[in-house]
Amino acid sequence: MSSSGEKTADHSDVDVEANVLADKPETTLNNTDDTATEKDAVDDANEGVKIVDFDGPDDPENPMNWPSRKKTFTIALVTLMTILSPIGSTISSAAASDIMSHFHSDNQTVGALVTTIYLLGYACGPMAIAPLSELYGRAPLYKICIVWFVIFHVACALAPNLGALVVFRFLAGIGGSCPVTLGTGSIADVVPAEKRAGALAGYVIGSIAGPSVGPIVGGYLTPAAGWRWNFWLMAILSGAVAIIVIPTMPETYAYVILDKKTKKLNKTVPENGPYKSKLDSGRTPREHFAFSIFRPLKMLCVPVVFLQSLYAAVVYSYLYLCFTTFPAVFGDQYGFGSGTSGLVTLGFGVGSTLGVVFCGGVSKKLVAYLAKKNRTGPKPEYLLPTLIVGGILMPVGLFWYGWSAESRTHWIVPIIGTAFLGGGVIITYMASTLYLVDAYTVYAASVTASGTILRCLMATLLPLAGSAMYDRLGFGWGNSVLGFIAIAFLPLAIVLYIFGERIRTTKRFQVNF
């Protein structure tokens, strides 16, 4: 055993929420065996408790040290679930008229609610999923939620009435919120900050471009097989993913990995203990859950988190507002059928893809350039200039799409406008996510849950008013109002670039919960 004054390795880049570390002298022991032994622990000089930590900076059990193949496989699984989830959110939009006709309803608000209620599940799910993941790990939540997702898509396919369909859609959204809530945390668990932009690119395009795929699939499948097959298809696809995820998804959360290691030591060599995880907060599971369940809401009280989350929420709601109004624009004005109306979302898809390429290619270089120019280390604020680009593209896309649709120009013109909007949405969303994850790495899951709650509440409610707004203002002025709101958010990136670090490090706004 090494001397009691030796410090353990720093794992500050590991995403560990509510990380209460023992402020005591510690020692680290190297362990070359895969099994947990006394060598895995360090002595607490004050209490006689041996503190369990990773075995130095190269410990293979630390997810940061996993082989690239294992990291890639884990991120791919998370991304696959993240792509499926938003497809499920919009697959019913192209079938809305058939669903309403089947249940003998002509209420446009209820028709929009069938699509957007899924996002209310997105907003509610993180409240439980984030704290449960801190107690039991990310992997069990992924596995449980993918099964939940399958079950309630089967229920949607069998729904006997409109009320049941709305409820089942809400419950499916809760299951679908899991990869959206935990995905950034899982990536932060295994990828260091300087490489995170590239790893997040595929994940983010899944969460943003996924909604573009749903209306295309639903648009062609509904007339061919009926609206219920939209949900049967989601159940089949998510069932296939579940078969892969359940036996293979590894645990990435350092808190849980060390907790299991500690329990094994206390069971196998109790006479040499007691052992305690370095990341143990000292709370019981019930206390930890009660403490953690409110953290996403508390984080919204932090100005930086609230402002960025609000911006992303407004942007995200524009996406779903457009999806719920496309049938009126391209169906009524341009005479597109169900399938071709779904294809107009390709404009968003193309714009989103280009936005991801831009963010993935520019973010890392931009941070390195600004760090060198300002003679500082990398800072989260150095990611914010890309937010300005997204903030400019969004109003351009809204004005372009709105007024070209209002004047009934050739159908390709408004679709090009939606491509600008898609690019603006993905760049804004990705830049905001990268900034918050880098600024609050140890709270990655909770800060993501905070943004998800606000974003999905906005995306649930705004589209419900979309039909009334466009009926009153028309597509030109209706989209212009949205464009003016987007312009009002433009200075946010500049303000946070200049003052963000000062705000984050002010004692009053420190995250200490």
Which of 149, 325, 364, 366 lies closest to 246, judged by CA?
149
Task: Copy the structure tokens of residue 501.
Answer: 């670090």
Task: Copy the structure tokens of residue 464.
Answer: 């419900």
- Residues 392-426: pLDDT tens digits? 999 999 999 989 988 888 888 998 998 999 889 88
Q: Is 33 left (phi over 0), alpha (psi -120 to 50) or beta?
A: beta
- Residues 450-494: pLDDT tens digits? 877 787 778 777 777 777 788 888 888 988 998 999 999 989 888
**All domains in the chain, ordered by first residue:** 63-251+291-508 (1.20.1250.20)
Instruction: Give the residue-averaged pLDDT of 123-139.
Output: 84
Task: Copy the structure tokens of residue 237.
Answer: 């696809």
Beta carbons of 352 and 201 less than 8 angstroms apart: no
Q: How many residues does the chain have?
A: 513
User: Is 55 exposed, middle or buried (CB count within 10 Å of its CB: 0-12, 13-18, 19+)?
Assistant: buried
Task: State the pLDDT at residue 392.
Answer: 92
Instruction: Give the residue-averaged pLDDT of 68-94.
Output: 88
Beta carbons of 201 and 148 less than 8 angstroms apart: no
Instruction: Give the residue-averaged pLDDT of 187-210.
Output: 75
Strands 50-52, 275-277: pairing kind: parallel
Distance CA 388, CA 430 (A): 12
Tell me which DSSP letter residue 302 carries. S
Task: State the pLDDT at residue 250.
Answer: 92
Share of the chain above pLDDT 70, in %: 84
φ, ψ dihedrals at 277, nearest 5°:
-65, 140
State the average pLDDT for the chain: 79
Task: State the pLDDT at residue 472.
Answer: 85
442 Cα distance to chain centroid = 16
Which helix (H) or strand (E) covers residue 318, if one does?
Answer: helix 303-326
Taking the CA atoms of 193, 198, 199 and 200 in sequence, report the sign of the dihedral they define.
Answer: positive
Three-class secondary structure assignment of 449-468 = HHHHHHHHHHHHHHHHHHHH
| Model-wide pTM > 0.85 | no
Q: Is the pLDDT of residue 225 over 50?
A: yes
Beta carbons of 431 and 384 less than 8 angstroms apart: yes
Task: Copy the structure tokens of residue 465.
Answer: 């008013």
Specify the amino acid at residue 99: I
Task: Copy the structure tokens of residue 313.
Answer: 């929420």
